[in-house]
Structure 1
């Protein structure tokens, strides 16, 4: 099978999957189709109204007949208006409803995908697919498809009425049909290919904008605006160049269709005019024939234009379905093992892991480590030693290539993901805060927590005082990613959230790195209380955290270099002794 045929097959499969979202709304589809048939029938009937007005009204010089047929014509117009309202409402409703369903389905799928997917795919480009592509699909489902069906009915009905009115003149029009279809087929393929390219370029532009604006302080701090402007301009021009080619192909297609169709109408008027002069047909018949010819011609032209929109929609559907079909590599087992009471016993046995982007480099290399319930284990080592990767594996953000992690003697891959992750409270090096109130952010771990519980957690993390100094206290709205708060304030909110989670195992990834000396002291006191009777894994370089741990594991290039207390490691581990010496030296300098 050629690449072209594979792409066509994939595109049709994507369209078929997207169309499945319409299936639950069969009743609304029926309403839309009935309204569509009704309006098309009324429009076609107007041609006969015109014939009667001319032949029975104007030609007979009868005011009564003229008034009668004008009245019929106005009734048809009113019926057409009512039918158009009904069609527009239900078709638009259907488009809005289906796109809302697709958006929800895609988001519900994305939010459960393993984090590795978002490392391999730009989040901002995914965001663009959920916005720009969805908007295009919405337009097509809620407008273009209806428009195409309406014009198809008008074209078929118009051709039927053309034959009924005058078969000889109709033959002249039908000669041009193959001449219209051929350019549609030729240019349609080009438009479809360029539409996909155009959507990819637009998604890249959107992703770049989001990335730059999301890091605006860094951009301005390094005076990078002029470079970003040039880069953005280049991307916009590339998108414009593809769009220009797509527009050119569509314009040529529409122009050819109009020339051919209207040329046929002109030829028909000349032949028909001679027939009227010679008395072979009436003026009303010619007027009706012209009306139906224009209906058929405009329908064919409109269909050729809508085909371009449908081809763009096919590209959007393909990109959207790609997201929906993205496999989730990390899932709960079909039959999960029941989790007993968790005290925090963790056993890591011969664990090996490499990221998919670097399959030949082991981030965790044959690691064996036992963590006892209730102990505080510090993980130290140089950057790239595998400390944060180990946290990711404990939370099953990734699965190891070999070896195992057992929680309370059960392999974590046999546990339900939600049950597993409820056992951990994570405080990362970069605090994750969301747009919303401070109270909402603290309740992220426990949505049902009372105000008293939230305040108690904030007090334990020494965040209550600065929260009360904010304009609306716990109801103060934060900007994106906690914009407006200091690094230390963000970190204390993250610690308060972990306290509120009340999980049996704590994962602290440089949890106090952003705090000043005074804040760190008080938070350390709070953490000491929090860590009682809990298993705690701490990634830290600060001596205060390392020295207070029950044991310290020294990692180097994903391997366990040594394990013991601070005093033991100073004697037994040259790597730890070197790290400790550097910390002591920096402490003296400070």
Structure 2
């Protein structure tokens, strides 16, 4: 509409619009080529700031213990300084674009004003026509300038979208690993595992575990220990199919787990307890224990009582209130209590699966006592032995050392293997 009005007012002034469009097109091409790269550099350098900050927070105890505070401060300041460089250059480039576009508008307005002054008094062009044409031309050029600024801002902001798209394309997806086999609703009924020459790796040319073969009977406790990097956690990832096998097979109660949907496998067949349990403090205690809302109140209270946490929740909430109100808020807990809470969640899930479907899921414990004292460690292993192993669940425990775990081993039922360089080595624990 601005172009139409400009043509109606003074047709010869509308000839400046194509010229302005060509100039603006050239300017935005030059600007985008630089600003897009600066935006990428800014995002990359900002990631370095976040990494440096998070590493400092997570290693704060070590930094203070070794007196590395000054070095950590210098590293953080250096990362912030590096992150400011592309951002400062990007701001300078934006100011350059603004100056160029403003100069273009001034370059168009100046000839119009000069023409109006030179033709004054001749009667060929009235002041109203010149004023109308000049106003419309400036408005039309302003519209073009805003279009360029918005377009360049959009192009620059698409850098974040490009990073997300690259992450999506480079990250393996589980959509193609659904599996076509539909086992019975009561599977697994026993929890018998059979490993047949399994080999897995994170990247080509580097094998994490190789040629593992082992039969794990139903209700057996398998203890896997070894040094850091020996492949213990990788072994658990293969059971959950978070890491696919290169060769071999894993059978659970006679069914190859690679033929089963990963959702069904993780929901029904395995109960996991990691060394760093995920707890949502902004959610209720009930939600953290039973996200699916499938467990009864008795099951939740029983699990908390067995781990010794029920008294803590009752004392921190309203003592005589209803169960929903007692479990409405998530209280502060120590590291040991968080491990016991994660164990309570495993007990709730195992009891719910036994009651509803009659299944016996395999319990996977990845260093469940890595940051606990000897008393709490003994309590956790006692609960595992009484509430899981004695109830027929197959339990696989990954640990750095045997320690207190020796007290709860039984010959003929439990098996201890040492993992060295991705291979199993049987160990006699007596």
One fold, TM greater than 0.5?
Answer: yes
Alignment deviations for residues 156-193 of structure 1 (CA, whole Å, 9 cap, x no partner): x3333222211234445655543443223223311222
Equivalent runs, 1:310-349 vs 2, <5 Å: 310-331=154-175, 333-340=177-184, 341-342=187-188, 343-349=190-196
Equivalent runs, 1:256-271 vs 2, <5 Å: 256-271=100-115
Distance apart, 1:232 and its partner CA: 2.4
Instruction: Provide the residue aligned with 2:321 in structure 1.
Output: none
Instruction: Provide the residue aligned with 1:538 in structure 2.
Output: 397
Distance apart, 1:559 and its partner CA: 1.6
C-alpha separation in 2, matches of 1:418 and 1:172: 64
C-alpha separation in 1, matches of 2:88 and 2:374: 59
Given the alignment of the two structures, is residue 203 of structure 1 paired with residue 60 of structure 2, yes or no?
no
The answer to whether the 8 Å contact 1:253/1:304 transfers is no
Alignment deviations for residues 483-505 of structure 1 (CA, whole Å, 9 cap, x no partner): x5322211111111110111521
Instruction: Provide the residue aligned with 2:6 in structure 1.
Output: 162
The answer to whether the 8 Å contact 1:276/1:286 transfers is no
Instruction: Provide the residue aligned with 2:138 in structure 1.
Output: 294
C-alpha separation in 1, matches of 2:16 and 2:377: 89
Instruction: Provide the residue aligned with 1:455 in structure 2.
Output: 301
Instruction: Provide the residue aligned with 1:154 in structure 2.
Output: none
C-alpha separation in 1, matches of 2:98 and 2:265: 59
C-alpha separation in 1, matches of 2:18 and 2:225: 81
- TM normalised by structure 2 equals 0.84
Q: Which of residues 331, 339, 345 is equivalent to 1:491?
A: 339
Instruction: Provide the residue aligned with 1:529 in structure 2.
Output: 386
Give the secondary structure class of the aligned counterpart of 1:425.
strand
Root-mean-square deviation (CA, aligned residues, Å) is 2.7
Alignment deviations for residues 353-379 of structure 1 (CA, whole Å, 9 cap, x no partner): 2232xx544321211000111112222
Equivalent runs, 1:207-222 vs 2, <5 Å: 207-213=51-57, 215-222=59-66
C-alpha separation in 1, matches of 2:16 and 2:424: 86
Distance apart, 1:554 and its partner CA: 3.0
The answer to whether the 8 Å contact 2:366/2:398 transfers is yes
The answer to whether the 8 Å contact 2:378/2:404 transfers is no
Q: 1:173 to 1:416 in 2, by over 3 A?
A: closer
Q: 1:523 to 1:194 in 2, by over 3 A?
A: closer
5+ residue gaps, structure 2, are 319-325, 354-360
C-alpha separation in 2, matches of 1:213 and 1:448: 37
Instruction: Provide the residue aligned with 1:558 in structure 2.
Output: 422
Instruction: Provide the residue aligned with 1:507 in structure 2.
Output: 364
Instruction: Provide the residue aligned with 2:356 in structure 1.
Output: none
The answer to whether the 8 Å contact 1:377/1:552 transfers is yes
C-alpha separation in 1, matches of 2:234 and 2:19: 70
Equivalent runs, 1:347-426 vs 2, <5 Å: 347-356=194-203, 359-421=204-266, 422-426=268-272
C-alpha separation in 2, matches of 1:240 and 1:170: 44
> Which has the higher relative contact order, 1 or 2, with Cα contacts under 8 A spaced 6 or more apart?
2
- 554-563 or 419-428, which moves further after superposition? 554-563
C-alpha separation in 1, matches of 2:167 and 2:141: 40
Give the secondary structure class of the aligned counterpart of 2:250.
strand
Distance apart, 1:346 and its partner CA: 0.7
C-alpha separation in 2, matches of 1:418 and 1:323: 23
Given the alignment of the two structures, is residue 277 of structure 1 paired with residue 121 of structure 2, yes or no?
yes
C-alpha separation in 2, matches of 1:562 and 1:337: 34
Alignment deviations for residues 249-279 of structure 1 (CA, whole Å, 9 cap, x no partner): 2322221221122122121022124435322
Equivalent runs, 1:175-194 vs 2, <5 Å: 175-194=19-38
Q: 1:507 to 1:168 in 2, by over 3 A?
A: closer
Q: Going by fraction, where is helix more abundant, 1 or 2?
A: 1
5+ residue gaps, structure 1, are 1-156, 479-483, 568-590
Distance apart, 1:329 and its partner CA: 4.4
